[in-house]
Amino acid sequence: MRNQDTFDVAVIGAGVFGAWTAVQLQAAGARVVLLDAYGPGNSRSSSGGESRIIRMGYGPDESYTRSAKRSLELWQSFFSEIGAGQHAAVPLFYPTGVLWLAREGDLYSEATLATLSRSGIAFARLDQKALATRFPQIELGPVSWGILEPNSGVLMARQAVRALVAHARTLGVSYFEQPALPPRTDGQLQTIVTVAGKAIHAGAFVFACGPWLPALFPFLSELIHVTRQEVFFFGNPAKGSRFVASELPAWIDFNDLVYAIPDVDGRGFKIAIDAHGPAFDPDTGDRVVSDKGLKAVRDYLSQRLPSFMGSPLLEGRVCQYENTSNGDFLLDRHPDFENVWLVGGGSGHGFKHGPAVGEYVAGLISGEVRVEPRFTLSSKTRIRERKVF
């Protein structure tokens, strides 16, 4: 008879990557245990924010477009299964559409058009006149055209991860809320121990710990760089409701490294600068936004959304990105443990891909999928050159 604490696979980390991996493995017939130090969707985690954009566009990078497309299908199927689809009282996905703001000679946006077309993704190319007519809230300035992905939108991140872990438990996944200690043996890992002394025995181990991966595996500290990222929520202007999801899509202005989400849940208009911040410790880092960051966002709003001049800051939050050298994910076997898998490197764009990542990792463990070289440990370097946005 099996010991009650012996499993086929132990997944450490109940963020979006870990939770989806646990669900996929359990659905494939494995006996799975899922652990998390602070709980699914907690405020320290990279999956703990209120909302995330899910979009199909990735410039010329068709592999991430395919991944996002597959992930949206799986997200929507999951939401439908648990009764949290877009028509639910509290939906976990808002089909706001996603709008790309582009300039003349914008090669990344031009490549996005071509990739969306090849991938069979619905989109519309809008010239400046069409943008001004449809979205008069936005002061276009140098923006001369745009791309609208009508079927993309906004995932309610924290709530979705919590719902996913709850669903995993109904499928039979065991869950423990205890931090795991770093593994200490080489070759074949058999057991991990939590800080409370609980021993977990498994045939395979998946460490999907986001910004905590370098702490568990110090050799990753030169390959994964954790950065402090600030997010702001502003009160909608008093006149009208032009900044809610029914009136304005989520939008991306990568020329200025800014993204924004309309008010989808009464929390206010969300906006953030996507440039990498300073180094950050997810355990001890202070999570109060800076005056400098607030000023930068207000300066941008004064140019692009002048209606927000004087609007109150409702909330400021600090999260983190765990960045690989170029923004590709890290989904690979540990170099010293043949039955240990490293899953992370979301690099600020990973949340939307959780379902596809879970499928891929489950396939790696079973040996049923082909290894994608760009996700391997050997592809990661110490030189930071961001290429995936």
Could you read off the pLDDT of 338-378 as tens digits, one per residue?
999 999 999 999 999 999 999 999 999 999 999 999 999 99
> Binning pLDDT at 50, 70 and 90, where does residue 3 land?
very low
Q: pLDDT averaged over the chain?
A: 95
Q: What is the pLDDT of residues 12-33, one digit of tens each?
A: 999 999 999 999 999 999 999 9
Q: Is the pLDDT of residue 79 over 80?
A: yes
Q: Is the pLDDT of residue 4 over 60?
A: no
Pairing of strands 32-35, 174-176: parallel
CB proximity list for 34: less than 8 A, separation 6 or greater:
10, 11, 14, 18, 19, 22, 165, 168, 173, 174, 175, 176
Amino acid at the residue 52: R
Q: Residue 1: its pLDDT value, please? A: 29
Question: Mean per-residue pLDDT for 38-65?
Answer: 96
Q: Is the pLDDT of residue 166 over 80?
A: yes
In the chain, list all ranges with CATH 3.50.50.60.
6-47+158-223+326-379
Q: 201 with 297: CB under 8 angstroms? A: no
Q: Which residues pair with 270 in a beta bridge?
A: 233, 261
* Assigned fold of 95-153+225-323: D-Amino Acid Oxidase; Chain A, domain 2 (3.30.9)
Q: Is the pLDDT of residue 46 over 50?
A: yes
Question: Which value, to the nearest 10 degrees, does the dihedral of the CA atoms of residues 97, 102, 105, 106 take?
Answer: -60
Q: 115 with 68: CB under 8 angstroms? A: no
Q: What is the pLDDT of residues 243-278, one digit of tens each?
A: 999 999 999 999 999 999 999 988 999 999 999 999
In the chain, list all ranges with CATH 3.30.9.10.
95-153+225-323
Report domain 6-47+158-223+326-379's class: alpha beta
- Between helices 157-171 and 62-82, what is the axis angle to 10°? 70
Per DSSP, helices labelled H in 44-181 are: 62-82, 107-118, 128-134, 157-171
> How crowded is residue 157: how many other Cβ atoms within 10 Å of its Cβ?
24
